[in-house]
Structure 1
Amino acid sequence: MSSLHLLLVLILICPQILIQAQQPYIRKANTDCTIRNVSTSVLGYACNGVNKTCQTYLTFRSKPPYNTVTSISKLLKADPTQLSQLNSVSETANFKTGETVLVPTTCSCLGQFYQANASYITQAADTPFSIANNTFEGLSTCHAIQVERTDLTSNIYTGSKLTVPLRCACPTEKQAAAGVKYLLSYLVTWGQSVSAISAIFEVDTGLTLDANQLSEQDFTVYPFTTLLVPLSNQPSRSQTLAPPPPPTTSSPPKPPPPTTTSSDHKWVYMLIGVLGGVGVTFTVGFGFFWFCLSKRKRTINHRPAVSSASQSFEAIEKPLVKNLDVDDESEFMESLNSIAQSLKVYKFDELKLATQDFSPDCLIKGSVYKGKINEDFVAIKKMHGDVSKEIQLLNTIHHHNLIRLSGVCFNDGHWYLVYEFADNGPLSDWIYYSGLNSNKSLNWIQRIQVALDVANGLNYLHSYTTPPYVYKNLKSSNILLDAEFRAKITNFDLARSAEGQDGQFALTRHIVGTRGYMSPEYLENGLISTKLDVYGLGVLILEIVTGKHVSDLSEKVNKNLSDILEEVLFEEDNKKLTDIFDPRLQGNYPPEIVMAVVRLTYGCLDKDPSARPDMNEVSHSLSRILTTSQATDMSD
């Protein structure tokens, strides 16, 4: 009998085996609304508990307009009396913004999954993603909301009533035997770990890891996700208000090393010897290869390659012009043959017709022309040299915040890339304040929406492409605005594949980019990771809300960007906040929203790349800021 048949037989004979299984942690699956794999628990926690219905608890972080006992109870369909008693407050009490609120609820097995149902009336611009992650803070998912929808339309219309399944679970037989009475659905926020969350509720870290199918080797948790915390007693407000435990290392404590015998040591020494030999061989071989490669480059270019960082705020770019002989051109065309199979290949005459023979009247900027093909406007960029990597990347990415490449043309040694047209041009035309262009401006909500669009586009490159990419070229002139002022990232010539795991660094000696936007670790040491883009986005957000170019911010103020924000954050100096923010926005935003932007930007500009949030966290934070801004704007 095969192992598969044996497994099926065991499942049929012993269904109690399944009841021992714990719940899988959702990880980052909540950010991809196309996932339908139930093993990721995106639709809810499986009904594998002893009871089909049980008392359980959720956490929720207070925020306007959900910052009172009444409003939180109504949103999460909880009993206000029980909620007030659990949190030791009156039924008329207000919670501070960001305060953790304990919410009692009844969890029931409906179909395959546990859930506690809440009701929600949709607002303008709501989507399943924003409802799940902004309004309900991650207590539900876009996947679960889509499943519950009963209307026949693909869009969500204002005023619709939705059932929102809240994530909850009941203890399994194994957990009940260990004394677990409740499974609390805890909302993870920035900088938290399994051990820190367990310490809040005085729970053994191992039990929490086990409840979420995590381990000491695989323990990473993310904001806007729920972590099940097994409790033997009802939670109390004193736990959520308690000061955080002393700082610990970022990873769970390692188990004590096993005792070793002399035989074990012998194997260790043999392994070290073998690895050492392999390392020496690899080093010698790599050195020889590098020597040959360098020699070949010197022969071709007749000069050594020199990489240096410009001291100006202008772009540091590698040369695009590259002379190709007949053989090189043939190889170049062959390398792009497979790519062009799935792209529209235009005839040069078509592009001439579209641009009135590349008339100066159609010139947008540099070598980019506005054209019209089949009644649709396009942007046609004339390029030189090997552009195969950029075309290959643009041909494989599909995201509404990344510029779309619709076709290519090759003529007389030049490449012409045909892009979708962005009606309102580069962001740089809209955000910088000088008394001359004050009429061409964006309001507060438009600016936050642009920042969110850029973050979403970068998050797609970091987390949802294979392999992941680092953009490396973030600046306001590389962000285009369409007719609705939604942002699209363009110019991918400097993008490169991100090597290793999230946050792991690659190394380069060729520093390219725009000084001012480049992160310290990249500019000084050539270190590359997705955190490089996070730093660049922090600079861009600062430009967006201040109306000042990065050169003005750092040179005229004569301070590091993070130092400027530090004064605003920690000295609570409102005058300094007024001084640096765009005067065209004065009075258009509440101080608490501004401070949320300042805190986020300050985190993005941290000199330590490991301390910066990842792009997924930045996207979530900006989405929350946008939602709050819209709610404030509607109430005015």
Structure 2
Amino acid sequence: MDVFALLIFPLLFLLISPPWLIHAQQPYVGLAANACDIADNSTSVLGYTCNGLNTTCQAYLTFRSQPPYNTVSSISKLLNSDPSQVSQINSVSENSTIEPDKLVIVPVKCSCTGGEFYQSNTSYIVDNPYFSIANNTFEGLSTCQALQAQNGIPATTLPIGANISVPLRCACPTKNQSDDGVKYLLSYLVSWNQDVSSISTMFGVDYKNTLEANELKNKKKKHASASVITSQSFEAIKKPEGKNKVEEEESAEFLERSVYRGTIKGDFAAIKKMDGDVSQEISVLNKISHFNLICLSGVCFHDGHWYLVYEYANNGPLSGWIYHDNIDKRILSWTQRIQIALDVAMGLNYIHNYTSPPFVHKDLKTTNVLLDSELRAKIANFGLARSADGQEGEFALTRHIVGTKGYMAPEYLENGFISTKLDVYAFGVLLLEILTGKEVSALYEGVNGHLSDVLSPVIHEENGKENLGEFMDPSLQESYPAELAVLVAGVADSCIKNDPSARPGMAEIVQSLSRIMTTSLNWEKSKTVSGYHSFT
């Protein structure tokens, strides 16, 4: 039997797409809904406004099965629903285990709380921060702000083991909807590549009614906002009144191919225009947060194009600074170079060892490392990133080889092996570019197929320090500690070993570069080096 066959009553649904999009009965929910540190008491964040005909009603939620909430009983308990009703509506037995990611319809009692917002309450024993509870456990059916408002406990002091009340998003039909025959509203979890038309067809409801229920109807205003998909504090970008698409793009400040600088709430932002499927990059960036990784501020879909909004890095890509023949004659000091290398290493260490699942960036290069106003590095462009299937050093396989020539590890090029050691190899190449001031293509000139040949005169010969003059970036004018330069060259050499198991992990690299950075700062102050030999 079709899972929706028993929903024979007139029905409309509210669109919810965690963790990056929540459509309300009235307005969309913006990025603030998922950022616990943002003070936002707007209607869209705390719940749907009590504008229905009744203060209490029967409503329906949708939930996608995920362990440990993959049985009728566990889902019913989590969402405070009657398991017999869940079983009946979804045409399964009460003791059934539900396959992963399968949509489950859950009936709940929806009530107007305090005369302001509709909600259905359940309880939960705290085992994670509000953010994770709202967006992972409850899949966007609640928000950080709603949890804090309901329980009066700030996110910063939420105790593990506390029993909290969780307000779930629901609503009752308005008078107009009731007059049109609508008896119930269902909060639906939107997936990528779904649109209002396809969802309406799936539920057998009127397309226009769905638009109106979610305030998605196109009013054709000259300056209408595009729909926003978001996970942090972000405001919809509005088209300037009177400007057409071409005029608008021409007036924006061009940064690089399809990337523009815009202004949101008075702050600069990098806006990247994209076509096709952007779900992979958005999915990855919604799961990571680190100072050395570029932050996705929001996503906008308008006129058939995606616009990804990132934090703005004032000093642009590393490629505009590091090469000694750059047009602007920018020069990075020794200490600045080591700090940038350490920043990149820390960003990679985070995605390799501190995210669940761990991720492989797969496209580390100088153009994908951005520098902020303090010349601190942030890794960008996660379009090729994928989860690492296993512990560091273990392999996954692919037949689809994509990346940037010169940065791709041999095991990936030859056999399609994927592990975190791909990023380690690319980091070694990047480190070579930082030391020499040469592009990777120039580094390959005159070597017999492997970049270790470039390093050999410095790290494998007795007079290695004497060979630094020909190896190091001439724009440094020999203003660097020779002993430390040899050590950093050694780190680069270890990263580009042909055998991935012989390469260090990013945690080890971070430790080495941290010690080198500390000594470099001391050298910069005194122009003398001491203690460097203790961490070879």
C-alpha distance in structure 1 between counterparts of 2:344 and 2:231, whole Å:
29
Q: Which has the higher contact order (CA 8 A, sep 6+)?
A: 2
Q: Indicate the residue corresponding to 2:461 in structure 1.
A: 571
Q: Indicate the residue corresponding to 2:520 in structure 1.
A: 629
* CA drift at 1:635: 1.1
Verify: 1:595 aligned to 2:486, yes or no: yes
Verify: 1:442 aligned to 2:361, yes or no: no
C-alpha distance in structure 1 between counterparts of 2:432 and 2:439, whole Å:
9
* CA drift at 1:567: 2.8
Post-superposition CA distance 1:206-239 (Å, at most 9, x none) = xxxxxxxxxxxxxxxxxxxxxxxxxxxxxxxxxx
Verify: 1:366 aligned to 2:271, yes or no: no
Q: Specify which of 300, 304, 313 is matched with residue 409 of structure 1.
A: 300
8 Å contact from structure 2 (residues 346, 510) kept in 1: yes
Q: Indicate the residue corresponding to 2:135 in structure 1.
A: none
C-alpha distance in structure 1 between counterparts of 2:446 and 2:368, whole Å:
24
Q: Specify which of 318, 327, 352 is matched with residue 462 of structure 1.
A: 352
C-alpha distance in structure 2 between counterparts of 1:355 and 1:372, whole Å:
18
8 Å contact from structure 1 (residues 378, 421) kept in 2: yes
Verify: 1:522 aligned to 2:412, yes or no: yes
Q: Indicate the residue corresponding to 1:613 in structure 2.
A: 504
* CA drift at 1:473: 0.5
C-alpha distance in structure 1 between counterparts of 2:198 and 2:290, whole Å:
36
C-alpha distance in structure 2 between counterparts of 1:350 and 1:582, whole Å:
46
Quickly say closer, same or farther: Cα 1:418–1:355, change in 2 above 3 A.
Answer: farther
- In the TM superposition, 1:157-176 aligns within 5 A as none
Quickly say closer, same or farther: Cα 1:570–1:501, change in 2 above 3 A.
Answer: same
8 Å contact from structure 1 (residues 445, 626) kept in 2: yes
Aligned-partner residue type, residue 410 of structure 2: P
8 Å contact from structure 1 (residues 354, 373) kept in 2: no
C-alpha distance in structure 1 between counterparts of 2:475 and 2:301, whole Å:
45
8 Å contact from structure 2 (residues 235, 264) kept in 1: no
* CA drift at 1:502: 2.0
Verify: 1:562 aligned to 2:480, yes or no: no
C-alpha distance in structure 2 between counterparts of 1:405 and 1:329, whole Å:
30
Aligned-partner residue type, residue 596 of structure 1: L
Aligned-partner residue type, residue 618 of structure 1: I
Quickly say closer, same or farther: Cα 1:630–1:418, change in 2 above 3 A.
Answer: same
Seq. identity, %: 55
* CA drift at 1:348: 4.3
Quickly say closer, same or farther: Cα 1:329–1:621, change in 2 above 3 A.
Answer: farther
Quickly say closer, same or farther: Cα 1:338–1:484, change in 2 above 3 A.
Answer: closer
Verify: 1:503 aligned to 2:418, yes or no: no
C-alpha distance in structure 2 between counterparts of 1:330 and 1:482, whole Å:
47
* CA drift at 1:407: 1.1
Q: Indicate the residue corresponding to 1:429 in structure 2.
A: 320
C-alpha distance in structure 2 between counterparts of 1:484 and 1:420, whole Å:
14
Verify: 1:537 aligned to 2:401, yes or no: no
* CA drift at 1:329: 13
* CA drift at 1:342: 5.5
Post-superposition CA distance 1:12-43 (Å, at most 9, x none) = xxxxxxxxxxxxxxxxxxxxxxxxxxxxxxxx
Aligned-partner residue type, residue 487 of structure 1: A
* CA drift at 1:595: 1.0
Post-superposition CA distance 1:147-193 (Å, at most 9, x none) = xxxxxxxxxxxxxxxxxxxxxxxxxxxxxxxxxxxxxxxxxxxxxxx
Post-superposition CA distance 1:460-487 (Å, at most 9, x none) = 1001111100000000001110000000
Q: Specify which of 358, 376, 379 is matched with residue 486 of structure 1.
A: 376
* CA drift at 1:433: 1.4
Post-superposition CA distance 1:115-159 (Å, at most 9, x none) = xxxxxxxxxxxxxxxxxxxxxxxxxxxxxxxxxxxxxxxxxxxxx
Aligned-partner residue type, residue 429 of structure 2: V
Aligned-partner residue type, residue 365 of structure 2: K
C-alpha distance in structure 2 between counterparts of 1:328 and 1:512, whole Å:
34
Aligned-partner residue type, residue 630 of structure 1: L
Q: 2:456 aligns to what SS in structure 1?
A: helix
Post-superposition CA distance 1:527-565 (Å, at most 9, x none) = 010011000000000001100001101124455211221
Aligned-partner residue type, residue 523 of structure 1: L
C-alpha distance in structure 2 between counterparts of 1:515 and 1:599, whole Å:
23
C-alpha distance in structure 1 between counterparts of 2:500 and 2:517, whole Å:
25
8 Å contact from structure 2 (residues 321, 331) kept in 1: yes
Q: Indicate the residue corresponding to 2:343 in structure 1.
A: 453
* CA drift at 1:361: 5.4
C-alpha distance in structure 2 between counterparts of 1:569 and 1:446, whole Å:
23
C-alpha distance in structure 1 between counterparts of 2:470 and 2:392, whole Å:
37
C-alpha distance in structure 1 between counterparts of 2:200 and 2:488, whole Å:
49
Aligned-partner residue type, residue 335 of structure 2: I
C-alpha distance in structure 1 between counterparts of 2:201 and 2:374, whole Å:
42
Quickly say closer, same or farther: Cα 1:546–1:330, change in 2 above 3 A.
Answer: farther
C-alpha distance in structure 1 between counterparts of 2:402 and 2:472, whole Å:
30
**Matched pairs, number:** 311
Quickly say closer, same or farther: Cα 1:616–1:338, change in 2 above 3 A.
Answer: farther
C-alpha distance in structure 2 between counterparts of 1:619 and 1:419, whole Å:
26
Verify: 1:379 aligned to 2:284, yes or no: no
8 Å contact from structure 1 (residues 339, 391) kept in 2: no
C-alpha distance in structure 2 between counterparts of 1:518 and 1:568, whole Å:
23
C-alpha distance in structure 2 between counterparts of 1:356 and 1:452, whole Å:
42
C-alpha distance in structure 2 between counterparts of 1:370 and 1:569, whole Å:
43
Q: 2:248 aligns to what SS in structure 1?
A: coil
Q: Indicate the residue corresponding to 2:123 in structure 1.
A: none
* CA drift at 1:357: 1.4
C-alpha distance in structure 1 between counterparts of 2:520 and 2:379, whole Å:
24
Quickly say closer, same or farther: Cα 1:364–1:564, change in 2 above 3 A.
Answer: same
Q: 2:284 aligns to what SS in structure 1?
A: helix
Q: Indicate the residue corresponding to 2:532 in structure 1.
A: none
Q: 2:301 aligns to what SS in structure 1?
A: strand
Deviates more, 1:484-493 or 1:343-352: 343-352
Aligned-partner residue type, residue 536 of structure 1: A
C-alpha distance in structure 2 between counterparts of 1:622 and 1:526, whole Å:
30
- In the TM superposition, 1:342-357 aligns within 5 A as 344=234, 346-349=236-239, 357=248
8 Å contact from structure 2 (residues 261, 268) kept in 1: yes
* CA drift at 1:519: 0.5
* CA drift at 1:423: 0.5
C-alpha distance in structure 1 between counterparts of 2:295 and 2:449, whole Å:
38
